[in-house]
Structure 1
Amino acid sequence: MMKYAAVAILLLAAACSTTTEDQPIPGSLTYGGKVIHSPYKPGTVVKHTFLGDFGLRQFERYVVQPDGTLKLASRIESEDFLWD
């Protein structure tokens, strides 16, 4: 039973499109070669959300590097609203 639940969760997660290349896009904190220095300790995950093209919400996660800069770790794209 737990195996089926795990498969269902994976299928739901796959319903949101993700980027595999994890390159900054317009609206990303590091887009255009910007260097952001974080006051947080290395390894800390920093979340960033913004509205991207076609009204799709972008959920990004950055990891603070040893030098204090942010490295884009992942981005998930999802609709900004739910239809009823």
Structure 2
Amino acid sequence: MKYAFAAMLLLVAGCSTTTADQPIPGSLTYGGKVIHSPYKPGTVIKHTFLGDFGLRQFERYVVQPDGTLKLVSRIESEDFLWN
């Protein structure tokens, strides 16, 4: 049981959650871009890209009533391959 807890702790330590106040380079709405979605309001849209230093960025957007996207969360994690 203690090994499972240690493994979970290491997994969580590899990821970090950042506040999604501002878009970063690579975000769908970076630089003031306005994207109108064809999906209905409240739909969650996921976006993944490589950020600085090879860190994988996982973003979630919510479609607003006017069709624009609002960035609501971003999670940053290492990007590596399991061999």
Relative to structure 1, is the Cα distance of residues 18 and 65 closer, same or farther in structure 2, using a 3 angstrom cutoff?
Answer: same
Relative to structure 1, is the Cα distance of residues 71 and 78 closer, same or farther in structure 2, using a 3 angstrom cutoff?
Answer: same
Distance in 1 separating the partners of 2:11 and 2:68: 29
* 1:70 maps to amino acid: L
* Structure 1 unaligned spans of 5+: none
Q: Name the TM-score, length of structure 1 as normaliser.
A: 0.79
Number of positions where the alignment pairs a residue of Structure 1 with one of Structure 2: 79
Structural mapping, 1:6-17, within 5 Å:
11=9, 14-15=12-13, 16-17=15-16
Q: Which residue matches 1:39? A: 38
Q: Which residue matches 2:57? A: 58
- Kindly state the Cα deviation for residue 12 of structure 1 after the two structures are TM-superposed: 6.5
SS of corresponding position for 2:25: coil
- Kindly state the Cα deviation for residue 14 of structure 1 after the two structures are TM-superposed: 4.3
Cα displacement string for residues 23-44 of structure 1 (whole angstroms, at most 9, x for unaligned residues): 1000000001100000000000
Distance in 1 separating the partners of 2:56 and 2:30: 16
Q: Name the TM-score, length of structure 2 as normaliser.
A: 0.80
CA contact (8 A) 1:36 1:69 kept: yes
Query: Aligned-pair RMSD on alpha carbons?
Result: 2.4
Moved over 3 A (4+): 10-14
* Structure 2 unaligned spans of 5+: none
Q: Percent identity?
A: 90
Distance in 2 separating the partners of 1:64 and 1:21: 15
